[in-house]
Amino acid sequence: MTQQETLSPGMVLGRYELLLPIAQGGMATVWAARQKGSRGFQKTVAIKTMLPSLSDDPQFEQMFLDEASLAARIHHPNVAEILDVGEQDETIYIVMEWVDGEALSVITKTAKRSNVPVPQRIALRIVRQACAGLHAAHELRDDSDQLLNLVHRDVSPQNILVSYDGIVKLVDFGVAKALGRAGGETTAGQLKGKVPYMSPEQALGQKIDRRTDVFAMGIVLYRLTTGLHPFLGENDLATMKNIISRPLLPPRMKNPSFPVELERVLLTCLKKDPNERYQTMLELDAALERVLALSGASVVDDDIGAFTRSVMGDRGQKRRAELRDAVRAADERAAGIAMSPGAAQPHVHEAVSDIAITRMNSALTSFPTSMPRNSSTSIIPPSPESYAGGAMSGSLVPSTPPQKNTRAGLFMAVGAVAALSLAGTFMFLRTTMGPRAAAGNAAGNVAPTPPSPPAPTQAATPVAVQTGAAPESSASTGGGTVLDINDLPSADADPQATTKRDDKPAGTTKGTGATKPAATATAKPTGAPASTTWVPKVTDPGF
């Protein structure tokens, strides 16, 4: 499978996700890509990958890597920064900063089709920024602080990027030559660079230096200011012969209004002899600055951006929209993978109230320490047999219905409040009956005994209270004490009167289900009339 078949939007190279192809040159394809990091960080970058037809050529592979190693050393606002180099599945790639703009060649062609000439002040400002970037490359030094004698060798409008903000970036050091780098040396019969922008010594295969880039920049400036190429022939061979031997046609011969100072700069840049040219890009930049000063024109980077936007129209907006769509498609692909059947599904939490109830030892059935999660609680009302002297026996039974009931928490809360209210009632009865029971003991009645463990479940038995027996003959079993309601003092009660029979049988005890066995007769003080009245059984609530 070729590299062209493997590279596609959505493919990941290292830490970078390919979004869409942007351009293709003689050696590589440029992609817009996205770098993703932790905590939602993402950044748009440019990825350059070598063309499949050149990937098997060791020499071109070395040139590709040399570009990364050389350009990564250059740190200048007018040189596109190299961020990373990587290799994956036999694909070598270079990561560069993203430039939201167009190549100078695209801007000039679009302006020519629209019959819009590039203003001279804009052209001079663009070339000045490119000169600044090239001078930084020419002055590059190694770790021993020795000049690398770097030569770009491919200065052309295709390798000068102009952003929509008016910033110029120099790119593509793929055929750059540097001291001590085998990949940058030219073998016999081989030319590196674009023929229309070569210097005479470069076309002849002679030794080159930074002045070769000065000559190439002179051709770029000539085309920007006149609209013509100074040496262009019918083909590359004719163009090369013109560069080597044909004299330069001064611009004022075709356009007498052309500025004299600017013509002098062009003639100096395009001298056949390197010694007669500007020796550095810094000298060329200074000469262009003098031309601008003499013309009285002022220009800033924003002027370049405004001109670029006016010429290119909505091209930049369309590319940014395509980039946003590519990012959105990448996010949707990632979301589709996350929501695939094999992926973990999000957990939906329902509004179920969880109430923890502590154990209460009372006449009510003991509650569990905590209720199971995601279960509802149903309240079972006490049966008629569960009533005995005002005590109620009930139970809270956890149950798990087929579907969750979000109102279970409300029922549980109501049940808990009811239980606490009953408990408070029993406490009140205990505190009010305690002193009266003590008074009965002083008169010869038997005081209640502490409750004993519940006995096995059996039917409730009516208890007969007989008066007139001796106080010491009282006995009780099953954890409850039988009391005669006549013992309760009352201001208007007749102690000799018999109590109306309560037709309700004695109730069960605590929620364990055990009932009290029949108690023995309790003796009343001497002289009291005997009575066989049925009375309700009062159990100790156990507080």
Q: Which residues are part of the catalytic machinery?
A: 154
3-state secondary structure of 97: strand
CB atoms within 10 A of CB 210: 21
The distance of Cα 371 from the centroid of its chain, to the nearest Å, equals 38
β-bridge mates for residue 44, sequence order: 34
β-bridge mates for residue 20, sequence order: 32
DSSP one-letter code for 388: B
Question: Which residue, 198, 275, 206, is CA-closest to 242?
Answer: 198
Q: Using CA atoms, how far apart are residues 476 and 471, in angstroms rounded to an integer? A: 13
In our burial notation (b when 16+ CB lie closer than 10 A, e otherwise), range 120-137 reads: bbbbbbbbbbbbbbbbbb
Element (H, E) at 17: strand 16-24
Among left, alpha and beta (phi > 0; psi -120 to 50; other), residue 89 is: left
Question: Which residue, 44, 61, 46, 69, is CA-closest to 3?
Answer: 61
The distance of Cα 149 from the centroid of its chain, to the nearest Å, equals 46
Q: Using CA atoms, how far apart are residues 148 and 160, in angstroms rounded to an integer? A: 22
Q: Using CA atoms, how far apart are residues 85 and 60, in angstroms rounded to an integer? A: 16
The residue length of the chain stands at 543
The greatest distance separating any two alpha carbons of the chain, rounded to the nearest whole angstrom, comes to 155
